[in-house]
Structure 1
Amino acid sequence: MGNESSRSLNPTELSDLRDRTLFSQQEIREWYKKFHSDCPGGQMNKDEFGALFHQIFPKGDATNFADHVFHIYDKDRNGYIDFKEFLCTISIASRGTIDEKLRWAFSVYDLDGNGYVTKKEVLDIIEAIFKMRGEHNTEPEKIVAHLFAKLDKDGDQRLSDIEFILGAKAAPELLCILESDKTVT
């Protein structure tokens, strides 16, 4: 798609996005128009992405969490989110199956991308979520210990994507801990 902000999607691009997302062609066109209205250059950098999170969570500091999520969106690791990267992730977040959403959540927690989530990674994300929401929780380590007690079935002190997904599905009360827009108690 490049940096051309004045053009519309060509039929091949539209078809590709239709195949990769759960959006209709009309919805894709609407998202494209909105994205290019907000990002006339056709790309969003980390600062622009962070500014969106600050608008959504004005009472806290969303910097750390936005940085983590930006790296998930930026699939090609070029330092920008283009429309395709944006739309594919939005599709999962808004219309994906529970498995797709949990796979995406796992990728947020897997900070080093090694296919496993450690206690430190979960702690880092949970602290970033509290900070983003402007909440102070003095016991994030307890939350992490509780999660691992429930989800780490093989006791290796790390969660595979399978443990993470199956555990979250089997214990829905844990989903509120894993989601960034829910209250963690």
Structure 2
Amino acid sequence: MIQKTQKECLKLRTMSSISSPAIDTTTTKHIMTSDSHGLSDSRTIMECVCAALMPLMVAVAGCLGYCSNSFVQKNKRCSYTAEDFETLAASTRFTIKEVEALHVLFKRLSSSLIDDGFIHKEELQLALFQTPNGKYFFLDRVFDVFDQKRNGVIEFDEFVLALSVFHPYASIDEKIDFAFKLYDLNQTGFIGRDEVKQMVVAILIESDMNLPDDLLEAMVDKTIADVDKDSDGKISKEDWKAFVSENPSLLMNMTLPYLKYEL
């Protein structure tokens, strides 16, 4: 489940990476030794947001790992034609066989709650969080990134085109742009302080963590300071690209593991 993934992510570093004269050291030490695991620096915050896609990536990798002809044919009952699969393969980095295998996964996800050939938000939530109930902060953003047609559902071509960025042959710039879209909550072309704070608060809540307001604000300030290269108070796409170039591990989860090891 995503909560477990995020909690594991939060364990990577400690509060010692956040230095601010506004933070009382006694408070910091208390949090570091409490049952809650400290949220680390800006790298870990961004890594936790990317972790929202990990359950889906595991499902995709597993599906592609079994994309033999017999497997695909046995599950191939759909309105898409061989020509449709060829077109999608030509538009992405997937092979025709892999596109057919992705359709098997798509059918499973799109029929989990409503069997109408589309992935609804509740079905994506079920895939990512193992429950159709509850409200999760990152769900809307992930759904919007996939729903390029803005019609309230994820269609198969959108599903394949979005996943194409996770292919090992996808360029670094494509992966950087995709991740930036996840963080650009208001879709303004830059990430403001309020957006960073929303992400940090959501990660803390979904990881059952509580921090004092001053420590939370310091964490947000440090994240902005780390990434905002031109010091204009917001994170532009150029700032983000520069930050990723210095911290390539941020894109660690942006490549499908099955294809990575097959190529």
* TM norm structure 2: 0.56
Please, which runs of 5 or more residues in structure 2 have no aligned partner? 1-75, 254-263
2:117 maps to 1:42: yes
Residue in structure 2 matching 1:123, options 180, 197, 200: 197
What is the CA deviation profile of residues 68-116 of structure 1, one whole-angstrom value per residue up to 9, with x for unaligned ones? 2111111111110111111222221353333222211110111121111
2:96 maps to 1:25: yes
In structure 2, C-alpha distance between the alignment counterparts of 1:78 and 1:106, rounded to whole Å:
22
Change (3 A) 1:84 1:125: farther
Give 1:182's aligned residue: none
CA contact (8 A) 2:109 2:123 kept: no
In structure 1, C-alpha distance between the alignment counterparts of 2:203 and 2:92, rounded to whole Å:
27
In structure 1, C-alpha distance between the alignment counterparts of 2:143 and 2:171, rounded to whole Å:
22
Matched to 1:34, the amino acid is: L
SS of structure 1 residue aligned to 2:151: coil
Report the Cα offset of residue 21 of structure 1.
2.0
CA contact (8 A) 2:120 2:152 kept: yes
Please, which runs of 5 or more residues in structure 1 have no aligned partner? 180-185
SS of structure 2 residue aligned to 1:44: coil
Change (3 A) 1:170 1:32: same
Count of aligned pairs between the two proteins: 169
Matched to 1:84, the amino acid is: D
Give 1:84's aligned residue: 157
- Ranked by relative contact order (alpha carbons within 8 Å, sequence separation 6 or more), the top structure is 2
In structure 2, C-alpha distance between the alignment counterparts of 1:80 and 1:127, rounded to whole Å:
27
Indicate the percent of aligned positions where both proteins have the same amino acid: 29
In structure 2, C-alpha distance between the alignment counterparts of 1:51 and 1:158, rounded to whole Å:
33
Change (3 A) 1:97 1:141: farther
Change (3 A) 1:16 1:126: farther
CA contact (8 A) 2:145 2:181 kept: yes
Change (3 A) 1:153 1:80: same
2:187 maps to 1:102: no
Alignment of 1:56-75 (within 5 A): 63-75=136-148
CA RMSD for the aligned pairs? 2.8
Give the number of the structure whose residues are more often strand, by fraction: 1
Give 1:145's aligned residue: 221
In structure 1, C-alpha distance between the alignment counterparts of 2:204 and 2:96, rounded to whole Å:
37
SS of structure 2 residue aligned to 1:155: coil
Give 1:163's aligned residue: 239
Report the Cα offset of residue 43 of structure 1.
0.6
Which aligned segments of 4 or more residues in structure 1 are displaced greater than 4 angstroms? none
